[in-house]
Amino acid sequence: MITLRNITLTRDHKTVFDRFDLHIETGERLVIRGESGSGKTTLLRLIAGFIAPGKGEIIMERKTVTRDSSILVPPDRRNVSMLFQDLALWPHLDVKGNIEFGMRIRKMDRTEREAKVKSLLKMVGLEQYEARRIDTLSGGEQQRIALARALALSPKVLLMDEPLSSLDSERNRMLRKEIVRLQETLGFTLVYVTHNREEARKIATREVEIKS
Amino acid sequence: MTRRTASWIVVVLLAVIGLLPVLSMVFSTFHTEAGFSFEGYRQMLHTPSLWQSFGNSLLLAFTVASAATLAGTFLGILLEKTTLYFRKIWLALLLIPLLIPPYILAYGWYMLVGREGAWGEILFGFWGTACILFSVYLPIAILITSVSLRTIDPRFEEAGLLVCPWRCVLSKITLVLMLPSAMVSFLLIFILSMGEFSVANFLRYDIFPMESFIQFSAFYDFRTATLYAMPLLAIVLVILGIESLLFKKGALRFKSRTERLTIPLHALQIPFLVLIGTFILIIIGMPLYGLMHSIDAQSFIHALHKAAPALGQSLLYALLSALLLVFFGFATAYIIVYRTIKGWRVLDAMNLFWFILPATVIGIALILFWNRPYTNIIYASPLIILFGYLVKYLFLSSKIIELRLSQIPRSFMEAAQLTGASWYQILLYILLPLSSGSLAAAGMIGFVFSLRESTLTMLVAPAGTATLPVYIFTQMANGSEATVASLCLIMLLIVILPLLGLSGYTAYQGKKYDHA
Amino acid sequence: MKSLFLLLGCAFIFSACTSHSTKGTVTVYVSEDQVFSEPLLKDFEKETGIRVHAIYDTEESKSTGVMNRLIAEKANPQADVYWANEPIRAEILRQKGILAPYASPQAEGIPDAFRDREHYWTGFSARIRVLIVQKGLKTKPDSILAYADPKYKGSAVIANPLFGTTTSHIAALFTFWGEQKTKAFMKAMKANHTALATSNGESADFVASGSYGFALVDSDDAVSRLKAGKPVEIVYPDQGDKGTGVFVVPNAVMLIRKAPHPENAKKLIDYLLGKESEKKLAFADCAQIPLHKGIPAPDTLKPIRDLKTMPVDFKQVAQKMIEIQPYLKAWSQSK
């Protein structure tokens, strides 16, 4: 479903990828493992369409979305969502504002929006949190809200960039299970980046290791 | 409209407003009767008196910038990080000299010390000029220090405190982490002292901007006046070079956090209180006393009555100018931080060049360019004053917003981008609200600097308009001492009031978004 | 984007509001101190209903002044009238083609010496250059030569001769004494540690505050310090048989070429040149000396007919001034 072909990317005179190939199947939970600095995050940003490599192409659903240094299909047309390592929850918006942001941009009408926000919050187990400010949430709660936001537009592909790295092992385990459960219910393709072997083993239907 | 188009519109607008006028002046310096030539430059380089005053200027700017940065770092730490009593009050008092036209401060000292005697000798000359400029620009160093302290990750300091006391943590960790921001403060104050000449003129210290000024005021020679402003361009280039080095290392990108560590003063509380109290009394209390002791209630009311129209206009123009500065400041900061067009570096250089160019050169450039029958709507209206302020102070507002924008994590925008938000939706819903504190700060700084400007205003203000600093200026000629002093007091009051508003607002904003 | 258009809109309204008035407007640039000139212009407004838009200047080195503005605006003049505080710079403007001739009927009766023959400018209400002297001074200077007198070493101050009426005065000396004698005088003045002030007003303040013994200033600077009760007195220099006499500096008013409101401009010029205006300026704090005959003069100053004055041709002085500017710059910057 997603194919990266012959990707070559250099940054600050260092080669991050050299003729790198990767194929991702629809509906799988692919975990990408690697040391820090090995280019895991860069890989996700390539798939999302924030950046283009110098050489190579990315194909999504038989369409070339990136070729060499040009982005042919912009991020928002790729039906991709992302859970950022720092979560990137906007501090000036409350929980509801964060989750419904994309729906507003897509001019979804109000009742539909509100219903969707409610169901997403229920899904992550944080009903009644709509009006809470981001900085009043605990780390685990922020993680769930970020997850709800990432799922708001029902993406086909969800990219996760070490989303659980800042949680203690108990919370880590709980959220891990929940991510697997959500993926199984909703059926999106998951591309998950981590350096943690155990985490990888528990989530993955397939694992890939990249080396710098 | 694409992001590129919008960026270009901003650039073109700025180019028409200020760059073309200035460039046409700059081109005139290459023009002689024989056509294009460097003859003017050759002659300039062979004029020893110019070298002398350029040297004086460098010495002055270097002295002021080093002293203000050193003292500002010390005071910034004292006021931002320690348990010193009345910190807010000390800070507010220390800000005063920045807020009033510098020549008023010089006037105050003169009223106090006079011309004669040992003190008069010191006042009139290098040391007097340097001390007054030091007090004027010290607040900048303090503010930069306190901002940079807020963005240092307290964990670095905590790690240090495990092995040694605060004294060594400050010198080995905190100060080292602050080095880039101290450099920024040094450069900014250096530029400002290089360009400021009203104090040096009043105190008879021969500095370089005076050369350009004399060409205007005594010889009415626009070409030579502009020519003599060109060496400042060399300084701009050097500073840009240093700045790009600093940015390359990413040294100016901070992460801001909520928790901050404070240093308990314990037994040092009283000595430091005495120290800062005495310091403020000397650098601010004394000149203000010199200025104010001749005021009585009657002359104050009289002055207020006379200055009312000028006061109203001053506030209106400063307000509009602040809006314009925030708008273009945000636009240029956006273009520079996100490099939306290839020429972003040029934009950066342009802002700095305007900032360092003498106000007289900008003023004449604006007149020559905009005073045409079909642009009377601009030249014969206060819009020309706003253009002048915009050009002169865009660097400040742009830099303030730039610092904030560069702190906003990239992922904040990418998260929005994935939902399909367009560049202006991201700008409107994510970047603007997140940088609102810096917009307010840029607006306030723009307001204050526009409010205290006099040289440019005097040159381009349409007939029938007058701002308070210009009015004070013209009243200083044969106006009564009490009236002039009262006018200065009014000036002081109207800049202090909005500042209190700002400190309240930023405190509120700080609480709201500090973790961002 | 929106806010920019809004701003442009505001500017439109702004300029629309400021420029209409039933009797029209007149724009005047003024180099005479605002403290003295503004009341007169306000009176003109009241009496004629014509709105006056003025730009004031301080005459001295603190500003680049309206002169630069007039020159820069030459292609599209904004000003109708220029009220200069001395006629020398009027000559420079004339040479640059910025003035238009206007023979005001009110100029009748003003001595020819204070009028341009071709009517490019007309003088009125004069000041004289006097010595303001500290009251306590034991031997009072009675000549500008005191600047070169070792007896007064370090105790004299003069406004920077690059600016204002001081330039005119030095240029006049050049025409009167000749180059050699004047340069020798200037050199001696420097050797005598004469201090430089940024303006005549400032030198008067220096004397008033006791910082210096005496200064050569305009009579209005001296009179206003006297009226403020400062311990100073006025000395009319060089009144002896061999003396040069006092240098008289009239105000000068002139019409700008291609003035946007020429009719109102002429009305303002007529008004300023009228006897009534001269009288008002005479009895204001500036105590300026009327040039029309038969106007009572203020008692703070001696009437001009009782004084020995220095004969000058302002055109010649203006020419000289342009010539000696580089010399004056070098002089003022030398140690």
pLDDT digits (tens, 9 = 90+) for B284-338: 899 888 888 878 888 889 889 988 888 999 999 999 999 999 999 999 999 998 8
The answer to whether residue B116 is domain-embedded is yes
CA proximity to C199, closest of C58, C335, C64, C88: C58
Cβ-nearest to A102 among B411, B414, B420: B420
Chain A residues touching B425 at Cβ < 8 A: 105
Of B136, B186, B157, B375, give the one whose Cα is nearest residue B260: B157
Reduced to 3 states (helix: H, G, I; strand: E, B; else coil), residue B382 is coil
| Residue B349 in domain | no
Q: Is B427 left (phi over 0), alpha (psi -120 to 50) or beta?
A: alpha
Same domain membership, residue B239 and residue B146: yes
Give the domain C127-247+319-333 fold: D-Maltodextrin-Binding Protein; domain 2 (3.40.190)
Instruction: Sort A136 into a burial class: Cβ within 10 Å, 0-12 / 13-18 / 19+.
Output: exposed
- Output the pLDDT for position B509: 56
pLDDT in tens, A135-159: 889 888 999 999 999 999 899 999 9
C34-48 vs B468-476: helix crossing angle, rounded to 10: 110
pLDDT value, residue C3: 53
* CATH number of the domain enclosing B418: 1.10.3720.10
Sign of CA dihedral A144, A149, A152, A153: negative
Of A45-59, B367-381, C48-62, C223-237, the poorest mean pLDDT is in C48-62
CA C123, C128, C129, C132 dihedral sign is negative
Across chain C, mean pLDDT equals 86
Lookup result for tokens 């008004």: C271
User: Which residues in chain A touch residue B417, judged by CB atoms under 8 angstroms apart?
Assistant: 50, 74-76
Query: Is pLDDT above 50 for C171?
Result: yes
Whether residues B312 and B285 fall in one domain? no
- C3/C196: higher pLDDT: C196
Q: For A91, which of B414, B416, B515 is closest by C-beta distance?
A: B515
Candidates B2, B478, B484, partner chain C, best to mutate (most C CBs within 10 A): B478
Count contacts between B and C (CB, < 8 Å): 166
Could you tell me what percent of chain C has a pLDDT over 70?
A: 91
b/e per residue, A75-85, with b = 16+ CB within 10 A?
bbebbbbbbbb
Nearest to B214 among C1, C58, C329 (CB): C329
Task: Tell me the C-alpha to C-alpha distance, in Å, between residue B333 and each of B341, B400, B411, B439, C131.
Answer: 12, 8, 19, 11, 57
CB contact under 8 A, C64 and B368: no
Residues 121 to 160 of B: which have CB under 8 A from any C CB? none
Q: Identify the bridge partners of residue C25 per DSSP, sorted by sequence position.
A: C51
Residues of B whose CB is below 8 A from A80: 418
On whether both B289 and B411 belong to a single domain, the answer is no
Give the neighbours of chain B: at least 3 Cβ pairs within 8 Å. A, C
The answer to whether C96 touches C201, Cβ cutoff 8 Å, is no
ipTM for the complex?
Answer: 0.80
CA-to-CA distance for C243 and C47, rounded, in angstroms? 44
Same domain, B202 and B100: yes
Q: What percent of chain C has pLDDT over 90?
A: 49
Please report which helix (H) or strand (E) contains residue B233, including its range.
Answer: helix B231-248
Rounded distance between C-alpha atoms, residue B301 and residue A132, angstroms: 52
Residues in chain C with CB shorter than 8 Å from the CB of B330 are none
- Looking at the domain assignment, is residue B326 inside a domain? yes
Q: How far is CA B252 from CA B184, B246, B405, B443, B497, in A?
A: 9, 7, 12, 22, 31
Find the residue in B nearest to A161 (Cα). B411
Would you place residue C259 in the very low, low, confident or very high pLDDT band (cuts 50, 70, 90)? very high
Contact map slice: B 56-95 vs C, CB within 8 A: none
pLDDT for C16 equals: 46
Q: How many separate domains does chain B show? A: 2
Residue ranges of chain C that CATH labels 3.40.190.10: 23-125+249-301, 127-247+319-333
Q: How much is the average pLDDT of B430-456?
A: 89
Q: What one-letter code names the amino acid at B28?
A: S
Listed as own residue / partner, the contacts of B110-115 with beta carbons closer than 8 Å and 24 or more positions apart are B110/B202, B110/B290, B111/B290, B111/B291, B111/B293, B111/B294, B111/B481, B111/B485, B112/B286, B112/B287, B112/B289, B112/B290, B113/B290, B114/C209, B114/C210, B114/C211, B115/C195, B115/C206, B115/C209, B115/C211, B115/C212
Q: Across A171-180, B111-120, C166-175, which has the greatest mean pLDDT?
A: C166-175
What is the CATH T-level fold of the domain C23-125+249-301, as seen in this structure? D-Maltodextrin-Binding Protein; domain 2 (3.40.190)
Do B232 and B309 belong together in one domain? no
Closest Cα of chain A to B251: distance in Å?
17
Could you tell me if B209 and B138 lie in one domain? Answer: yes
**B288 plus B335 within the same structural domain:** no
> Please, what is the average pLDDT of chain B?
84
CA distance B507 to chain A (A): 16
Chain C residues with beta carbon closer than 8 angstroms to that of B475:
34-35
- Say whether both B515 and B389 belong to one domain: yes
Question: Residues 105-164, chain C: which have Cβ within 8 Å of B?
Answer: 162-163
Question: What is the token pair recorded at B14?
Answer: 């700025």
Would you state the structure tokens that stand for residue A117, as one six-digit string?
């926000």
State whether B330 and B377 are in the same domain.
Answer: yes
- Give a yes or no: residue B431 inside a domain: yes
Residues B393-407 have pLDDT tens digits of 999 999 889 888 888
- In a shared domain, residues B149 and B56: yes
Verify that B4 and B71 share a domain, yes or no: no
Find chain A residues with C-beta within 8 A of B418's C-beta.
48, 75-76, 80-82, 102
Instruction: Estimate the share of chain C in helix, then strand, then coil, as percent rounded to the nearest 5.
Output: 45, 20, 35
pLDDT single digits (tens) A57-92: 999 999 999 999 888 888 888 889 999 888 888 888
- Whole-number pLDDT of residue C17: 46
B294 in contact with chain C, both atoms CB, cutoff 8 A: no
- State residue C53's pLDDT score: 93
Task: Please determine, for residue C90, whether its predicted confidence score (pLDDT) is greater than 60.
Answer: yes
C-beta atoms of A92 and B420 within 8 A: no
User: For position B516, what pLDDT does the model report?
Assistant: 37
Q: Is B196 found in the same domain as B178?
A: yes
Confidence of residue B515 (pLDDT cuts 50, 70, 90): very low
Structural domain including B376 reads 1-10+297-343+369-516
- Across the interface, of B116, B371, B465, the residue whose CB is closest to C73 is B371
User: Sorting pLDDT into bands at 50, 70 and 90, what band is B506?
Assistant: low
Residues 149-178 on A with a CB inside 8 Å of B are: 149, 152-153
pLDDT at B496 over 90: no
Task: State the nearest Cα–Cα gap between B408 and chain A, in angstroms.
Answer: 10
Q: Please judge whether B474 and C198 are an interchain contact, meaning their C-beta atoms are less than 8 angstroms apart.
A: no
B363 part of a folded domain = no
Cβ under 8 Å to C: B residues 420-459: 455, 458-459
% of chain B at pLDDT higher than 90: 22
In a domain, B94, yes or no: yes
- pLDDT at site B247: 62
- State yes or no: pLDDT of B116 exceeds 90: no
